Amino acid sequence: MTCGYVAFTVTMAVPSHARGYESFGGSAGRTCAESTPDWTYPPTGPAGAPNIVVVLVDDMGYSDIGPFGSEIETPTLDRLAAQGVRLSNYHTTPLCSPSRAALLTGINAHRAGFGFVANADPGYPGLRLELADDVLTLPEMLRDNGYATYAVGKWHLVRDATMNPAANRGSWPTQRGFDRYYGSLEGLNSFYYPNQLISDASVVDVEEYPQDYYLTDDLTDKALSYIKDLRAHDADKPFFLYFAHVAMHGPLQAKAEDQAKYRGRYAEGWDELRRRRFAEQLAHGLFPPGTQQKPRNTEPGYEAAQWTSLSADEQRRYAKYMEVYAGMVDSIDQSLGRIVDLLDELGEFDNTIIVFTSDNGGTAEGGPEGTRSYFAEFAHVDDPEWVGDVAHDEDLIGTARLGVHYPRGWGQASNTPFRFYKGQTFAGGVRVPLVVSWPKGLPRTDADSGIRHEYAYVTDLAPTLLELAGLRSPSVRHGLPAKEFDGVSAAELLRDPTAQTLHTEQYSEMTGHRGFYRDGWKLLSLHEADSDLDAPNWQLFDVRADPTELHDLSARYPDKAAELARAWDESAWANTVFPLLTRADLSRRRPEEARFAAPIRLLPGTPTLERYRSQRLIAYRDFTITADLTAARPSLDPPRAASSPTAGTDVHAAGTASAADARAAVAPTARPEIGYRRGDEGVLVAHGDPLGGYLLYIEDGEVVLGVNSYGRYASVGAPLPIGARQITVRATVRPHLRWDFTIEVDDTPLAELTDRVQLVGMAPWTGISVGVDARGPVAWELRTRRGSFRYTGGLRAVTYTPGPIQVPQRTIEAVEREAEYAAE
């Protein structure tokens, strides 16, 4: 009798020596007829479990969206805030990697291993800069509760030395709980020519981006496709979408139509914008009556000029930077609008929790004047001959051809009404907007304004979302007891406008800047570069009466200041904050990275080399690039007369002849040629993109070296002899961070290109490509004429041979520190 027609069951004992039946819930006999089946199932979400969408924006200040006082058009956020909840007293960490780690784990940033951004590797517990095996992430918690989990956008939770395909991927998104991922592992990227995109756990092998490509749109398309794909296969499974925008991080680039909407709207300047936004915030009820605002930052190194003191040319250019920024904020709201529209179409908007926030405050990285050459400006080279802000055509600001950033005067307007910026522990760096919408689970009464003034912190988001959804977190990860939350649920705060915060104290620290909050008191210290790192200059504020942190009360209440200073010290030890590190200390890397400077031979067809791996081959050093043209290929000469194929030859015989063998059987044997031949053309090697780089190519019988020095392009070429087998480019370091280049053909010098600005810090941004200028164009005019210009000749390999570092160590440390700052 078959199993499909069993009319009775015979129970048999499984022998004691049997294995693999321990957890089987049915019964097992010798045959199916004597057995009872049982099935295992993956976790399923509770009935009616809400979807969860977390939108995290990069470097966007407190006042940059409509619900928090902005003039920028954000209709989607206006809608969410009108029916949802705004947290006016929400805090995060001063920088992006720490904030992302804290948000996704519910654990304080240092304790999660992210006391700084993932562009360093100093070798201390609070600065592992990769998530430890005993740290659970929110997607892991939700997947354990039956959720589908998706992430798009910026990750920045892997060290830059481990972004390459050969690295351990234990801290990559799909190893940390996400079913699908699409985006950038980097801390920033180009919006027109991303240097590297990852799909799940593999690099997307892009040669050339479409003409109308824009990163925010690409990320949004992918997020929508994940949701549609899920619903096509399962109508009920709840999902978690973590959308971490690359915007608003520099370099600032906006679509022409978005930038055009704001043309002329910032001619009044940052002082007036800060005043108007603050008035709007007071009208919204975000701050109590009587709250004061400092007109502008005046502290040395953080100060912003009075707008009226600027020249007409400066005002025009600076206003244009802000038009680009506003267009990018607008684009983010459009992206969120497309997600909300899809939820509406699916009938799932009411039962979706949407959280919108920023990773830290607006930035001062543009300095007092802003820049049209992002990577050159943020190298901050202390040399009067350094290029700094390259004076490009202002009409190119915001386009694919430039990487720009606004002056810090706009950063202080972004952080209205607070002082200071991203990177500092004062409110300007850590108080950011937070909007929560869940119509089904967080309905508003007419008497509820939707504004909450109680303190909340970034580590509260994970426990809050779990409580709102009625879920529990697992206690074990990979066999290890999981670290417990440092954050506390703010669910009651969201539900009840009269509820008080459960998060009553919190430390903060970043590169020597310190802070400690307890019950409405905040102790803050601003670390000055030349001061003792462990001698904080504490300032005390009662932020219930003085939310903008203007009135230092440390002299009036020395005992309170001392109490909070002791509490900071205790929290620092409890969260692996010690040892304290300066930016100079953070330039240290593990010794094994020295292998990145070993010679490397790259074959044609090798995908574009990862950015950090590529930079280590040329940074601050002499180097040579050798293109070997000795790959054999058929002659272009006319074929000789064909002879008859050998009797009995079967050109279709499987396993006995390849397609090439078959062609050889019916055609004359080709005469192999080695070396350059007339008509060969294309790019031999390229490294970089419009923001800086170099490339070597052959066109019209000439070999050409082009060097893009942060947007200033120069080239040199010379006729290439027929039969040339080897082309070598030699780069030699000279003073003031310059290179001299020489082109040699078969050991004979052919041409020179001297006194070129070195590409340092984060440049070149796009990695090395062999046989093609992939992704962003190094030479704009060449890309316009020839596209990515694949090489048509015989290219065997391109070899990089790095020489010794020739730049003083103190200069390197200074540049690398600023590169880390740009990556924040």
Active site residues: 96, 156
- Report the distance separating Cα 643 and Cα 650, nearest Å: 16
Find how far residue 57's CA is from the centre of its chain.
11
Q: What angle do CA 328, 332, 336 make, to 5 degrees?
A: 165
Task: Please write down the HEC assignment for all residues of 422-436.
Answer: CCCCCHHHHECCEEE
For the chain, give the number of residues: 824
Kindly provide the b/e burial profile for residues 138-164, where b requires at least 16 CB atoms within 10 angstroms of the residue's own CB.
bbbbbbbbbbbbbbbbbbbbbbbbbbb
SS3 279: helix
Contact criterion met (CB below 8 Å) for 61 and 362: yes
- Report the distance separating Cα 519 and Cα 540, nearest Å: 13
First to last CA, the chain: 69
Distances (CA, A) of 242 to 219, 223, 546, 773: 11, 9, 34, 33
Distances (CA, A) of 166 to 169, 173, 176, 186, 635: 9, 16, 18, 16, 38
Q: Is the bond into 322 cis (omega within 30 degrees of 0)? A: no
Q: Output phi, psi for 289, to 5 deg.
A: -55, 145
- Report the distance separating Cα 627 and Cα 743, nearest Å: 11
Q: Output phi, psi for 818, to 5 deg.
A: -70, -30
Contact criterion met (CB below 8 Å) for 368 and 296: no
Residue 509: strand pairing partners? 514
Task: Identify the sign of the CA torsion 348, 359, 399, 737.
Answer: negative
DSSP characters over 556-605: T-HHHHHHHHHHHHHHHHHTT-PSP--TTGGG---GGGGGGGS-EEE-TT
Residue among 173, 143, 181, 142 nearest 157 (CA): 173
Find how far residue 600's CA is from the centre of its chain.
27
With tokens 């209440």, the residue in question is 557
Find how far residue 768's CA is from the centre of its chain.
20
SS3 766: coil
Q: What angle do CA 737, 738, 742 make, to 5 degrees?
A: 150
Written as six digits, the tokens of 304 are 């912003």
Q: Provide the residue type at 254 as one letter.
A: A
Pinpoint the alpha helices (H) of 657-701.
Answer: 659-666
Using only C-alpha atoms, what is the Rg of the chain? 30
